[in-house]
Each structure stands twice: as structure tokens, then as C-alpha cells.
Amino acid sequence: MIKVPAAVVVCTVALVVCYAYQSGPLVAILVCVSAHLATQVISAARTKPYPPGPRGWPVLGNLLQIPQDSPWLTYSAWADTYGEVVHLKALSDHLVILNTAQAAKDLLDGRSTIYSDRPGSVMTELSGFGIEMPMLSYNDQWRRQRKIFVQSFNSGMMPGYHRIQEHEARKLVQGILRRPETLVSQTKTRIAAIIMRVTYGYTVKGEDDPMITVPFAAMENFGTATEPGTWIVDFIPQLQYLPRWVPRASFLRIAEEYRQLEHKASWSPYLWCKEKVVCIAFLATHGIDADGVHGAQQEGSEEPCLVASALSQFEGDMNNEDEAALVWAASSGLGGGLDTNMSTIFTFLLAMMRNPHIQAKAQAEIYEVVGTECLPSITDRPSLPYVRSVIAEVFRWYPATPLGLPHAVRQDDVYKNYLLPKSSIVIPNVWRMLHDPCVYPQPDEFRPERFENSDSEMRKVTDLVFGFGRRSCPGSQFAESSIFAIVATILATCNIVPKLDEQGQPIVPPMEYTNGVIV
Ligand code: HEM
């Protein structure tokens, strides 16, 4: 941060003293000296160099050098040339890439009061996604949503969710064993089912249940709306004010469609839960036993769920702002948790397919600790260090968000004598941090043994993959137990092997990320 030197403070105090004693000419001189010193301080900060980075073009800057595919690999190569903090310019935007855990912790954790914003995007706002917690600026709306969310996802609440997570993990395995070809859609459905149960108390009816298919469609729209470089309105914000009939303003129509679907995806499950809560409260106040009277709506009512708990805290005294905060906080769960969990589970399956000896070792640990008569539960986690190491290595090997989520800095800042200008988009290159050969030798190898069963070494990985500072993932503990339930249940009941081709040769799928923020 810019430090104001003592000289300025002394001059300012002198100025105040002179003013108090009404010594006019002296005041004038001091004003001039103070102003000159202050200008020097500010310009000294501004004339500090930006961090190093590849040379760009006039006006465009590095715009054409920023890769669309796997940008973390290019950024990591730049880290070798330019160091731990790399600066890029794309038109008028500054981008700062943080390539080491230390730099990310110094800035995003240590200076989180100024590094907790998100970069804005006009298309994201027009499409109605800017109102959800992960996209919100660091403001009161974000604070309100985050508070609601954390009340249901803090460590004390976790044991209450174990039964749901284990139940859905078992349903997933049953489904995969019955129809292995539907692995992807079933994994998606069951992960969504866990989140829907703990958020809304809603039991997903199946893959075609609109209560999840509508949010899935909205999430696809989110991916398109937030894709950098796709929408001209993100470069020329004034275009948002065009009338809709203007020929090249189709983005306005698309944004409106996205907004409507997002609204439906977020409000429908909320209203379902609200109706259930109101109904149960009505029956209770009239002394009617809810069981049996309202069988369908009672399902899952013994389990904790975010929306019902928040509604009961408001006790009917909720204004429109409170209600909107609750709706958007709740819908952030599926947005934040679905693709990240899926990516992690698929990386796990690929890792096991490619490393049968590691799979066998993890299975042996489960058989030894849990036996073969029952399935592992989440409470077995402390007794299964090798399974925990496998999961930590999955997070390290192919993290679900290799560039985290971008932060934005609120004001000019100086780090290691470099200027990080106000509004810079700050990108933690988590991929590089977890593939730095000095920290993780042979980083491309999947080797759970590298942690030597040490939880503090595993924690160093999860501290990075779940993000930083005040914006770090509020669903991390929940995610870790969901993933443990699924991984341990699969290991205990299945052998993960590749499909065979017509010649009987294994077809091992390539390790390939999809594109986007979550890959
Ligand atoms: C493997 C699973 C997961 C991974 C790797 C992951 C990772 C992340 C990351 C990197 C961020 C951004 C942190 C930052 O800005 O520095 C984030 C934010 C967030 N995550 Fe997760 N997440 C996972 C699961 C979940 C789950 C299960 C939920 C909900 C139940 C969730 C809800 C959220 C929310 C609401 C935010 C936005 C927080 C904010 O902007 O204040 N995540 N997550």
C-alpha cells in the first residue's frame, strides 16, 4: 500500500497549527510545500513500474497474446521468464497473474480488504448473473448473501449433512453399476441432488426433474455469458443502451433470455421450499400433526436445509431485499458446487484408471479399516489417510479451477516495488502453484505418496484450490465431505477400469480439460 511519508504528516500538522494561530504567509508557504510533497508521493507511486510481462502492441497491449485454450499453461511458461507476478494489458484492462502461493497469500489473503472485488462484465450483469454471490462486488449485498450461506455451510453444520451425502453416493454407485454408460449424467444428477437437499430440502426425482434441468441450462448460459472476449458489449459498454431492434444488438435479446431462465432457476426451488415451510408452520399452529396430512411435502423435513433455516430465522419478518438475498445466496450453491465437484470426481476416475496400483492400495486401506461387510462412512475419514491423500492429489493434479476465480483490486497498490494499478484483474495461477517442480517434484505424476500421509501437506493443496481471502470457497468443507463420500463408496464397491476396444485393448481417455473457469 502507498505509505505517506512522515514529511507530509509533519507539514500537515504544521499547517493546522499555523492556521490556528492565523499566520497567513507561513500558511501559504506550507500549503505549497505540502502540495508539492503530496504530488511527489503520488507520482512516485504511479511511476513505479508495473510487474514484468510479455511486450505488447500499442493500444491492444497483450490482448492477442492471451490464449483462449488452457491459459494457465501459457501463464506458467511466462512465470519461468518473468517471475512470480506477471503484468499484462488488454486494451485498457490491467491483468496481474500471481504464480506463487506466497504472492497469492500476501495479496489476496493478507490485503483482502482491497483485493476482494470481482472484475465486472457488462454481459454478466445484463444476463442477471451479476447478482449472485460469486460474481458480486465486495459490497453489502455480497456480505448479506455470504452471511446467509455460511450459516448453513460452517463446520458445525457438516455432520447434519453426512447422511444425505452418503445416501446419494450410494445411489450413484447403484446407478453406475446398473447403467455404466450413463456415468456422466448420473454423477451430475447425484451431485445436484446433494446440493438441492441441503439447500432447499428438495429430493430430486430423476435426471429429467425440471428442478435441476432448468438450473443446468442456466449454468450453461452462465458459461457463455461470462466467456472472456465473446461479447462486444464487454469491450464497448455503451452498446448496452442500444434499442433492441438495432440489427447487431442481438446480445440484448440473448441477455434477456438468459436473465429470465436464471430467474426461474433460482426462484422455483426457493418458492417450493417456502411453501413447504409455511404449510408446516400453519399445521403446527393449528395443532395438526403434519405427518400423513402432507406426506409429499414433508419429505426431508427432518434434515437441515439452508432456505428453511433462514426463513425460520426471519420468522416471517422479511423484506424484499432480505428475500432476494436469500434466493440468490441459495442458488449460488448449485452454481458453485456442481461443476467443481463433477470435475474433481472425473479427475479421480481417470487417475484410478491410469494408476491401478494406487486404486488397489486405496481399496486395501478401506477393506482393512472398514471391512467388507459395510460401506465406508464420512466418519471413517480420519482413519483412511491414503484415501485422503488420493483426494488431495486429485485436487493438486488437475484442480477444478486452475486459475481460481479472478479477484479485482480496489485501489493502486505496491507489491515488491511494483505498481498494481487500481481495478486490475488479479488471477491466481493455482495450476502453476500446484505444478511448480520445486514444490512438487515430477508434478505431472499422480503420486499420493508425496504427502507422506501428512494432513498439513494436504492442507497446503486445499488452501490453494478453494481460493483466497474473504472470497475463499464457503462450500469447501461440504465439498470435501461430498467428494470423500463418493470416492470412498466407489473404491469400496467398484473396480475402475477403461473400456476395451474391439481388439480387447483398453481405451484410456486422455487427460483433457474442458474450457472455461471451471474445467
Ligand atoms: C471441488 C469442489 C470445489 C472447488 C474446487 C471450489 C472452488 C472455489 C473457488 C476457487 C472459489 C473462488 C474463491 C476465490 O475467489 O478466491 C469458490 C467460490 C465459491 N464456491 Fe466453491 N468450490 C467447490 C465446491 C463448492 C460447493 C460444494 C459449494 C456450495 C455448496 C461452493 C460454493 C461457492 C460459492 C458460493 C463461492 C463464491 C464465494 C464468494 O465469491 O464469496 N463451492 N469455490
Ligand 1 binding pocket includes 332 (Cβ within 6 Å): yes
Q: Which atom of ligand 1 is nearest to the CA of 136?
A: 40
Tell me: is residue 438 an annotated ligand-binding position.
no
d(CA 167, CA 175): 12
Element (H, E) at 420: strand 418-420
Strands ordered across the beta sheet of 425-428: 85-90, 93-98, 425-428, 407-408
d(CA 34, CA 21): 18
* End-to-end CA gap in the chain: 34
Query: Hey, what's the torsion of the CAs at 189, 194, 195, 196, to 10 degrees?
Result: 80
**Taking Cα atoms as reference points, which of 134, 252, 257 lies closest to residue 517?**
134
d(CA 75, CA 53): 10
* Rg from Cα positions in the chain: 27
Give 83-105 as a 3 state SS string: CCEEEEEECCEEEEEECCHHHHH
Element (H, E) at 356: helix 356-370
Cα 463 to Cα 56, 98, 338, 401: the distances in Å are 33, 15, 20, 13
Task: Provide the pLDDT for residue 91.
Answer: 87
Q: Domain 125-507 in CATH: superfamily?
A: Cytochrome P450 (1.10.630.10)
Please work out, in degrees rounded to the nearest 5, the angle formed at the alpha carbon of residue 187 by the alpha carbons of 506 and 402.
80
| Residue found by looking up cell 470426481 in the block | 345
Distance 517 CA to ligand 1 centre (A): 12
Distance 418 CA to ligand 1 centre (A): 30
Number of other residues whose CB lies within 10 A of the CB of residue 167: 15
For 238-280, the DSSP string reads GGGGS-TTSTT-HHHHHHHHHHHHHHHHHHHHHHHHHHHHHHH
d(CA 68, CA 263): 29
DSSP lists the bridge partners of residue 164 as none
Distance 465 CA to ligand 1 centre (A): 9
Ligand 1 binding pocket includes 119 (Cβ within 6 Å): no
Alpha-helical runs (H) found in 410-475? 430-434, 455-465
Residue ID of nearest Cα to ligand 1 atom 7: 466
d(CA 175, CA 191): 13
Distance 395 CA to ligand 1 centre (A): 13
Question: What residue ranges do the domains of the chain occupy?
Answer: 125-507
Distance 511 CA to ligand 1 centre (A): 23
Task: Provide the pLDDT for residue 47.
Answer: 80
d(CA 380, CA 487): 13
Residue to mutate, 466, 487, 519, ligand 1, most ligand atoms under 8 Å from C-beta:
466
Alpha-helical runs (H) found in 21-64? 24-47
Ligand 1 binding pocket includes 134 (Cβ within 6 Å): yes
| Upper half-sphere CA count for residue 12 (Cβ side, 13 Å) | 9
Q: Which atom of ligand 1 is nearest to the CA of 483?
A: 1
CB neighbours of 188 closer than 8 A, spacing ≥ 6?
A: 216, 338, 342
Task: Provide the pLDDT for residue 517.
Answer: 57
Judge whether 201 and 273 are in contact, CB under 8 Å. Answer: yes
Task: Provide the pLDDT for residue 288.
Answer: 64
Residue ID of nearest Cα to ligand 1 atom 3: 340
Q: Which segments in the chain show pLDDT lower than 50?
A: 1-29, 31-33, 35-37, 39-41, 43-44, 292-300
Task: Provide the pLDDT for residue 229.
Answer: 74
Ligand 1 binding pocket includes 118 (Cβ within 6 Å): no
Ligand 1 binding pocket includes 123 (Cβ within 6 Å): no
Residue to mutate, 340, 343, 487, ligand 1, most ligand atoms under 8 Å from C-beta:
340
Ligand 1 binding pocket includes 481 (Cβ within 6 Å): no
